[in-house]
């Protein structure tokens, strides 16, 4: 499991490092980019940031629901495919939002990626206040799971902010 986690972190680091060359996957004249650019509400920084926040929430919640449903079955390694698919869809959507933004990308990125920052802080709260459910319970595995979840949400926060806010259109 740790190997898959480290491979995922290296994969995200490579995506962030080579993000300007990956932006060619999303075309400037695609239907979704044009519809966002032409939407009046998307020109408002707060509404565009809230849109990104809500999409991040929906993608994260849907992925969590699918992963929970998969725990009811005994399909080996299918959850890795779901996680990889969710990461790819999120990154592609963040690229679309970056292409659609005409101005104030940093503000939109800060508002939209704050979902993952809030989630990281909530997980940190649970990590700091971890207590055994019964006397003598070892809380190591719960603490390990919370620390991994904290790292995943922190990396998602940084990735969302960098991809949506820090990539110039002149670089892409």
Query: Is pTM beyond 0.75 here?
Result: yes
> What's the gap between Cα 138 and its chain centre?
31
Q: Are 156 and 94 in contact (CB under 8 A)?
A: no
Q: Which of 115, 117, 114, 141 is nearest to 127 (CA)?
A: 141
Which tokens hold the place of 104?
């104030």
Q: Are 113 and 51 in contact (CB under 8 A)?
A: no
DSSP annotation string for 83-121: HHHHHHHHHHHHHHHHHH--S-HHHHHHHHHHHHHHHHH
Over residues 118-154, the pLDDT tens digits come to 999 999 999 999 988 888 888 899 999 999 999 999 9
């Amino acid at each position: 499991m740790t190997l898959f986690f480290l491979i995922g972190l290296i994969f995200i680091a490579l995506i962030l490092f080579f993000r300007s060359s990956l932006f060619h996957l999303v075309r400037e004249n695609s239907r979704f980019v044009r519809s966002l650019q032409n939407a009046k509400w998307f020109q408002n920084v707060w509404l565009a940031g809230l849109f990104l926040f809500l999409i991040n929430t929906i993608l994260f919640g849907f992925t969590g629901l699918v992963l929970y449903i998969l725990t009811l079955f005994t399909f080996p390694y299918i959850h890795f495919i779901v996680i990889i698919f969710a990461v790819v869809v999120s990154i592609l959507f963040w690229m679309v939002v970056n292409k659609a933004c005409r101005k104030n990308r940093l503000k939109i990125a800060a508002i939209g990626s704050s979902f993952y920052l809030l989630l990281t802080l909530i997980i940190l709260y649970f990590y700091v206040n971890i207590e055994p459910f019964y006397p003598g319970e070892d809380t190591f595995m719960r603490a390990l799971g919370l620390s991994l979840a904290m790292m995943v949400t922190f990396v998602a926060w940084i990735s969302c902010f960098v991809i949506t806010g820090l990539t110039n259109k002149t670089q892409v």
